[in-house]
Amino acid sequence: MNLHGKSIALTLVGTISICVMACSPPAHSGERQFHSAVEYNDFILEQQNSIIRRMLLLNELYDTGTDSEIRLAFDSLVIQCDESLLCIKKLSAFEEDSVLKVDAERLFSFYDRIFHKEYKRMLDIFLKGELASEAEVNELNQIVVQVGEQEAKLNDALSSSQEKFSKQHGFEFATSAAAN
């Protein structure tokens, strides 16, 4: 492994370690504690944005990256999704309000499934380049459409839950740009 590869590997290990620490509960309580509804909502939103940022990077690398950069970005996306889903599963309902957590868990579980199955298949077809058969290209396009439709429904449900949660707990919800 060259110096650049070691740097990427160390960065990836550092990112994973930070995420694990961020999702770990305080030692004294057994679960992560939030002092406000805003903090709870922001935590969920940041987990989602962490996944989306990696999705955007992967999409960018499809146009500009090498096969190894694309695979590394994909692996990072899968790891982030696994970690974010684990974080969401560990959350308790906020003041007995579980709708936001449940909808986040549904979306993140969907991401987890598609990253381990559909995205992996899409990646394999994409990396074949010109060697991909017409049937594989059609399969790729079909996967893109199906995943997009399913994701839109789950993302809309989470956005709706976040808006209701913010109204119920007295704060203004503003959507955040994922690339921040």
Number of domains in the chain: 1
| Per-residue tens of pLDDT for the chain, all 180 residues | 444 444 444 444 444 444 444 454 443 445 688 999 999 999 999 999 999 999 999 999 999 999 999 999 999 999 999 999 999 999 999 999 999 999 999 999 999 999 999 999 999 999 999 999 999 999 999 999 999 999 999 999 999 999 999 999 999 877 654 444
Residue 175, in any domain of the structure: no
Question: The pTM is what?
Answer: 0.78
| Structural domain boundaries enclosing 139 | 3-168
Instruction: Count CB neighbours of 59 within 10 A.
Output: 10
Nearest CA to 129 among 75, 73, 70?
70
Q: State the DSSP H helix or E strand holding residue 131, giving kind and residue range, or none if neither.
A: none
- Phi and psi at 87, nearest 5°, equal -60, -45
Three-state secondary-structure class, residue 37: helix
Three-state secondary-structure class, residue 163: helix
